Structure 1
Amino acid sequence: MSRDKRKDLIRRIEEKRNSRLIVFLTSDRPNLGFSISTDIVPILHKHILGIEDSQRSKMDLFLYSRGGHSDVPWTIASTFREYCREGSFSVLIPYRAHSAATLIAIGADEIVMTKKAELGPIDITLNNGPYNPREKKTNDRLPISVEDVTGYFDLLQKIGCERPEEKMRGFEQLTNKVHPLALGTVSRILEQTELVASRLLGTRANPFDEEKNREIVRRLSSEIYSHSHTIHRTEAIKQLGLEQIVKAEDAGISDELWSLYEEYNALFLLDKPFMPEEYLIANGLDENTWNDLSLACVESMNRLDIYRKSLLVRRLRQSQPQVSLNVSNISFPSINIPALPPEVTPEQIRQIVEKIVSSQFQSIVNNAVRVAVNELLKTLPSTGFEHISFNSGWVKEE
């Protein structure tokens, strides 16, 4: 997991490729994933600027991600092209490069893939828009998948709804369940994604003709009916027509690519699900804080940037009992002290003792109540867990 070991692998890939390499990875650790977003662009740019002018002409992007915002791939690919010479921007894929990461890849002049490497469909899912339907029990926003929407209309076609009025009734039935503005958003983002994909394919030094570009985009966006479908390099070449794909073993970097991926796998614990709720239950805790959780990184020979956050997870209980005790009206027994000096009366002694005992007694009771309430809370039914993220952001590692 050492930076030195990763730098050694990066150096070996650069030497074999006669290029400069930048790594971009977003975590897909179960329950601790991260998406490609606009904040990555200035970080990547800083790494490009960290490379000497004379060495920027040919650059490789090592890419591992499950996807993200559909408008970011165009910016990323365009940024690299501003510095590379024509035909010298490549994407290296050791394992997963899905959705928006696939968009970045198809905009490269060359895609180097290992035997395990995967691309994915570029259709979209609207995860939490303001018009998404809500789940009844949790009231959480439900995702809207373009495959589900298009699949619904394909089903109408298959069962014989071909006349305009029949299609309109089918649409009205759908809008009874899903807000029409949410459907419009899905349609708009899909069109945007297809447009970005076409433009990215067109930026290659040796682009395909427009008809082939449209066919590739259509197959990636509409003909694969599951967003979870993985596209290996043989399918990508033969079925999609991505002829710019190069086998990693033919490029002589298969072992280095996979070894570098395994280093990041160990650094980000990608194979180990993050289960904070189970941790609380197993340890009898009502809350715990995890600091400096790693979610993404950009790394090159000259610098390392990691996106981290801290997370507080708290168990929610069914009710919060309100307990209040008043000890001001407690009566004290009579105090008999023999042989008092003439100037000191028993009443004076009694008042002093009651004052001291009362002040100490209230503190003792408060502590006892606090312990009792905490113990009582643990016996109340749990209604779920609250997650609070803080201290999130990119940090340059020294």
Structure 2
Amino acid sequence: MGFIFELFWMILILSFFIPFLKAQMERSHRLALIRQLEIKRKSRVITLIHRQESMSFFGLTFGRYITIEDSEEILRAIKLTPPDMPIDLIIHTPGGLVLAAEQIARALCKHKGKVTVFVPHYAMSGGTLIALAADEIVMDPNAVLGPLDPQIAGYPAPSILSVLEKKNINEIDDQTLILADVAKKAMNQVREFVECLIKPKVGEEKAKQIAEMLTSGTWTHDYPITVDKLKEMGLNVSEEMPQEIYELMDLYKQTEQRRPSVQYIPAPYKGASETEQKWTL
């Protein structure tokens, strides 16, 4: 009985320590790969990767987004970087606070060295704002950015303003009028900021057109803006994604707590004949 009791406690202790050790090993692998990429590109590599936390509380995972803490850390990293050294920022995020995204974008614009933003999968909303601050945006051919229409109290700012056009002002409640006032200010602020970011790259007239398109509610907030669409806008977008960035993203995968939604054999297939040979016993 005593042996079973001791075994139970050993298993319980190990169940706490194994996830911690695994997390530390993954962190070491990430840092090693980041350093490898820095040496290859002679740059400072910074990551802004938001996925659900692998460390969960009672089995509940938590989503992440751009926060003030993120902007503080990235600003420190930029400050530690020599002025003429290139910066490579890897972004994978659904967006977040406008204030935090603008802080990061401003700091990247002020950096004298070349700034490259890598988007392996998606950088929506605030992530798009940060990407626009780069001298070059490198995206996977299937990666996307997103519109920059501000969200006020959970509603798109352009949609709130459209209420004023469709209803008599005497029929609109005070709360909606207040939201509309905030929405108008937010849209103007974001539009002006986007123009400021991209004007040195595309010219004043083109910058106004792009800023209007991204902030005026042309699309829904989750609309995927593809590589081809961004090139049509006149932005400097490349599809030459380094293999190391895909390898780095693999180190941010969620731990398997339930049956995985996606499964495949993690090996590249170069041709049908070679594939058939692999499966022949």
Q: Distance in 1 between matches of 2:253 and 2:124?
A: 17
Aligned to 2:239: 247
Q: Distance in 2 between matches of 1:170 and 1:31?
A: 45
* RMSD of aligned Cα (Å): 3.0
Which structure exhibits the higher relative contact order, with contacts defined as CA atoms closer than 8 Å and separated by 6 or more residues? 1
Q: Distance in 2 between matches of 1:259 and 1:235?
A: 27
CA displacement at 1:226 relative to structure 2: 0.7
**Paired residues, number:** 230
Q: Distance in 2 between matches of 1:10 and 1:260?
A: 8
CA displacement at 1:177 relative to structure 2: 7.8
Going by fraction, where is helix more abundant, 1 or 2? Answer: 2
Aligned to 2:124: 98
Aligned to 2:168: 170
Distance 1:96 1:43, change over 3 A: same
Structure index of larger Rg: 1
**Local SS of the residue matching 1:265:** coil
Q: Distance in 2 between matches of 1:188 and 1:268?
A: 44
Q: Distance in 1 between matches of 2:219 and 2:106?
A: 29
Runs of 4+ in 1 over 4 A off after TM superposition: 28-31, 150-154
Residue ranges of structure 1 left out of the alignment (5+ in a row):
128-142, 157-168, 274-398
Q: Distance in 1 between matches of 2:221 and 2:130?
A: 17
Q: Establish whether residue 188 from structure 1 lines up as the match of residue 185 from structure 2.
A: yes
1:141-290 to 2 correspondences below 5 Å: 143-152=154-163, 156=166, 169-173=167-171, 175-176=172-173, 178-202=175-199, 204=200, 207-222=201-216, 224-238=218-232, 240-242=233-235, 244-249=236-241, 253=242, 255-266=243-254
Distance 1:223 1:187, change over 3 A: closer
Amino acid at match of 1:3: R
Amino acid at match of 2:67: S
Amino acid at match of 2:49: L
Q: Distance in 2 between matches of 1:100 and 1:199?
A: 16
Is residue 138–residue 238 contact of structure 2 (8 Å, CA) maintained in 1?
yes
**Local SS of the residue matching 2:68:** coil
How high is the TM-score relative to the length of structure 2? 0.71
1:21-60 to 2 correspondences below 5 Å: 21-27=45-51, 32-51=62-81, 53=82, 57-60=85-88
Going by fraction, where is strand more abundant, 1 or 2? Answer: 1
Amino acid at match of 2:45: L
- Return the match for 2:106 from 75, 78, 103: 78
How high is the TM-score relative to the length of structure 1? 0.51
Distance 1:209 1:152, change over 3 A: same
Residue ranges of structure 2 left out of the alignment (5+ in a row):
1-22, 54-59, 262-281
